[in-house]
Amino acid sequence: KAGVTQTPRYLIKTRGQQVTLSCSPISGHRSVSWYQQTPGQGLQFLFEYFSETQRNKGNFPGRFSGRQFSNSRSEMNVSTLELGDSALYLCASSLELANVLTFGAGSRLTVL
Amino acid sequence: QQQVKQSPQSLIVQKGGISIINCAYENTAFDYFPWYQQFPGKGPALLIAIRPDVSEKKEGRFTISFNKSAKQFSLHIMDSQPGDSATYFCAASKRGNGNKLVFGAGTILRVKS
């Protein structure tokens, strides 16, 4: 059974650009969550999608957005990138809301 | 506001010893407390989890102890092995918040052989 797949694994952007990250959940999983991991702030919840609807949102500015497609695949977008957005962005999926989370390996974003 | 405080930041244990990591939480609405293990270059992986209706849960060499009145929970790794060397995160979530986990800052565990 394939795990959670995140693409791209690594990317470098410059300030002011925007980026889109992709996540394919485990087959059959309908909930997708996104987390940001940085050395300073640790693991922080960004948002969660279930059946194409955002169900929960963390305390991040509106530059961070996401969506989920009918096949449960999800994307997150960060616009007007700032240096502080450099982080490992982790996607996690679960069968339902409030269930066991399986994380992907993450997309490491570097903003120059 | 740090809702889940984790200690220690780092821990060195001899092979065969017991590793103990502690977490304390503030929000009494939390009702799910998982522990995650993360190796370099990988995402966190669920180790073991507990709900407040039990005081202890054991899975193999890993045990969670939970003290509801003190709002504390801890992870014990028995017979620690070099392969257990990783970063460990405690987390908490509350009913109705889906998969919104609040994580502790993490503990870097090194098991010396």
- Give tens-digit pLDDT for B4-29: 999 999 999 999 999 999 999 999 99
Whether A100 shows a pLDDT value over 90: the answer reads no
Q: What number of H helices and E strands is found in chain B?
A: 0, 11
Among the partner-chain residues A44, A99, A106, the one whose CB lies closest to the CB of B99 is A99
Q: Which of residues 72-91 of A touch B (CB under 8 A)?
A: 90
Q: Mean of the per-residue pLDDT values for chain A?
A: 95
pLDDT band at A99 (very low <50, low <70, confident <90, very high): confident
Amino acid symbol at B112: K
Q: Mean of the per-residue pLDDT values for chain B?
A: 95
- Give tens-digit pLDDT for A29-85: 999 999 999 999 999 999 999 999 999 999 999 999 999 999 999 999 999 999 999
Whether A97 shows a pLDDT value over 80: the answer reads no
Over range B75-83, report the average pLDDT: 98
pLDDT band at A98 (very low <50, low <70, confident <90, very high): low
Question: What pLDDT does B2 receive?
Answer: 61
Among the partner-chain residues A33, A43, A50, the one whose CB lies closest to the CB of B103 is A43
Q: What are the b/e assignments for A72-96, b being 16+ CB within 10 Å?
A: bbbbbebeebeeebebbbbbbbbee
Do A89 and A21 touch, CB atoms closer than 8 A?
yes
Among the partner-chain residues A48, A98, A100, the one whose CB lies closest to the CB of B46 is A100
Question: What pLDDT does B97 receive?
Answer: 77
Over range B65-89, report the average pLDDT: 97
Closest by Cα among B105, B110, B74, B73 to B89: B105
Whether B111 shows a pLDDT value over 80: the answer reads yes
- Residue B76 token pair: 């014990």
Q: How far is CA B54 from the centre of its chain?
A: 16
Q: Which residues of A touch B95 (CB under 8 A)?
A: 98
Over range B56-71, report the average pLDDT: 96
